[in-house]
Amino acid sequence: MLAAVLPEIRNLRLDNVPSPEYSADEVLIKVHAAGICGTDIHIYRGEWKTSMPIILGHEFSGVIAEVGRSVKEDLKVGDPVVVEPNILCGTCHFCRMSERNYFCENLKAVGVTIDGAFTEYVKVKAENVYKLPKKFSLDEAALVEPLACCVRGIDQARIKAGDTVAIIGAGPIGLILLQLAKQSGASAIIQTDIEETRLKLAKDLGADYTVCMAREDAVEAIKSLTDGYGVDVAIEAVGSTKAITQAMNVTRRGGRLNIFGVAPQDEVWNVKPFDLYDKELTVTTSYRSPFTFQRAVKIASSGSVKLRPLVSHIYKLEEIQSAFEVAEKKLEGAIKVLVKP
Ligand SMILES: [Zn+2]
Ligand SMILES: [Zn+2]
């Protein structure tokens, strides 16, 4: 089968590889579409370490092609599905806790530590597979994985009915968080970005106010929209320390800050602990998508969160180098770039 293999950083190569040999408790999935995520770009650039060669791609949809002998889940050939990429060992300290988390000491992830979906077929454990309703668009379904991560983020942000919310960043994640915040009862949502095109989309998807940081100071603008107090909840959806500081500065005293974006591993955040004390801020983070896939599938298929408008580009697998370039440099108004075998 054709695969985009990453043998070393910044060298994405199209290759013919054998299709994966799946075990008895796994299914083989024919990939329909796979999204390029910030994580793929980080690995491609060498900013996040993983063992190579590897086939990246952890946000994907597809159809079941074959089912392993001992699979007990209700999965049949032809079922349209999405995949939770994180694989737990089931036996370590964290796996045996009562809370459902992804802190597994032997965590593997499809498309991050083991071969993923920038190819034609992927094998995955049946327990990681979630069936989609028959009429659900498989293009949109490639965004269920980021949606599942955002469901966790919204849980962590603990938005209450009537809260004012600021979302820093209007990339695919920021635009999903916006829609989830709206559903959670936010009375007003302010979204910031540097790109006007992204902010226009944010408006279309329900943002009450947008702030273009290329023209305006985000902190001042958000303060003036909230009578000088700041918002009840701020969510950082960029993955930079600058954005985290901005999010902190626009949160009111006693408010809640969720750091959703993943900053580069070695970046250091300069913060005055006194400022946190003085505001009595509740700061949360959000780690992956612990058992939020079922809810994400329900949300996506209800149509209450719109995923299709986030897909800006669709490329063939053969064109993956161009797809990565557009996604990495955010060319041509790129938001979510999909690759299809
Ligand atoms: Zn991702
Ligand atoms: Zn474990």
How many domains does the chain fold into?
Answer: 2
Residue 128 CA to ligand 2 center (angstroms) comes to 14
277: CB partners within 8 A, 6+ apart: none
Q: Tell me, yes or no, whether 121 and 254 share the same domain.
A: no
Q: What is the CATH number of the domain that holds 204?
A: 3.40.50.720
pLDDT value for 102: 96
The verdict on residue 291 lying in a domain is: no
pLDDT value for 84: 98
Q: Which ligand is nearest to the CA of 289?
A: 1
Is the pLDDT at 134 greater than 90, yes or no?
Answer: no
Residue 105 CA to ligand 2 center (angstroms) comes to 5
pLDDT value for 321: 96
The verdict on residue 100 lying in a domain is: yes
Residue 278 CA to ligand 1 center (angstroms) comes to 35
Q: Which ligand is nearest to the CA of 105?
A: 2
Residue 153 CA to ligand 1 center (angstroms) comes to 13
Cite the DSSP H helix spans in 169-292: 172-183, 196-204, 218-225, 241-249, 273-279
**What is the mean pLDDT of the segment spanning 162-175?**
98
Q: Which ligand is nearest to the CA of 146?
A: 1
pLDDT digits (tens, 9 = 90+) for 261-311: 998 888 999 999 999 999 999 999 999 999 999 999 999 999 999 999 999
pLDDT value for 264: 84
Is the pLDDT at 231 greater than 90, yes or no?
Answer: yes
Question: DSSP string spanning 265-324?
Answer: TT------HHHHHHHT-EEEE--S-TT-HHHHHHHHHHTSS--GGGEEEEEEGGGHHHHH
The verdict on residue 255 lying in a domain is: yes
Q: Tell me, yes or no, whether 33 and 101 share the same domain.
A: yes
Question: DSSP string spanning 49-64?
Answer: ---SSB----EEEEEE
Q: Tell me, yes or no, whether 168 and 136 share the same domain.
A: no
Give dist(CA 259, CA 241) in Å, integer: 10
Residue 279 CA to ligand 2 center (angstroms) comes to 37
Q: Tell me, yes or no, whether 164 and 196 share the same domain.
A: yes
The verdict on residue 57 lying in a domain is: yes
pLDDT digits (tens, 9 = 90+) for 236-251: 999 999 999 999 999 9
Q: Which ligand is nearest to the CA of 103?
A: 2
Residues spanned by the domain of 321: 2-143+307-340
CB 26 within 8 A of CB 124: yes
pLDDT value for 266: 86
**3-state secondary structure at position 219:** helix
Q: Which ligand is nearest to the CA of 34?
A: 1
Is the pLDDT at 87 greater than 90, yes or no?
Answer: yes
The verdict on residue 65 lying in a domain is: yes
Residue 6 CA to ligand 1 center (angstroms) comes to 17
pLDDT digits (tens, 9 = 90+) for 190-205: 999 999 999 999 999 9
Q: What is the CATH number of the domain that holds 25?
A: 3.90.180.10
Q: Which ligand is nearest to the CA of 107?
A: 2
pLDDT value for 47: 85
pLDDT value for 48: 87
Q: Tell me, yes or no, whether 105 and 14 share the same domain.
A: yes
Q: Tell me, yes or no, whether 272 and 162 share the same domain.
A: yes
Give dist(CA 82, CA 142) in Å, integer: 7
pLDDT value for 131: 97
Query: Above pLDDT 70, what percent of the chain?
Result: 100
User: How much is the pTM?
Assistant: 0.97
Q: Tell me, yes or no, whether 38 and 168 share the same domain.
A: no
**What is the mean pLDDT of the segment spanning 159-163?**
97
The verdict on residue 301 lying in a domain is: no
Is the pLDDT at 160 greater than 90, yes or no?
Answer: yes
Residue 178 CA to ligand 2 center (angstroms) comes to 32
The verdict on residue 111 lying in a domain is: yes
Q: Tell me, yes or no, whether 188 and 95 share the same domain.
A: no
Q: Tell me, yes or no, whether 49 and 170 share the same domain.
A: no
The verdict on residue 104 lying in a domain is: yes
pLDDT value for 182: 97
Q: Tell me, yes or no, whether 42 and 125 share the same domain.
A: yes
Q: Which ligand is nearest to the CA of 173?
A: 1
Q: Tell me, yes or no, whether 167 and 101 share the same domain.
A: no
Q: Tell me, yes or no, whether 176 and 266 share the same domain.
A: yes
Give dist(CA 162, CA 260) in Å, integer: 21
Residue 96 CA to ligand 2 center (angstroms) comes to 8
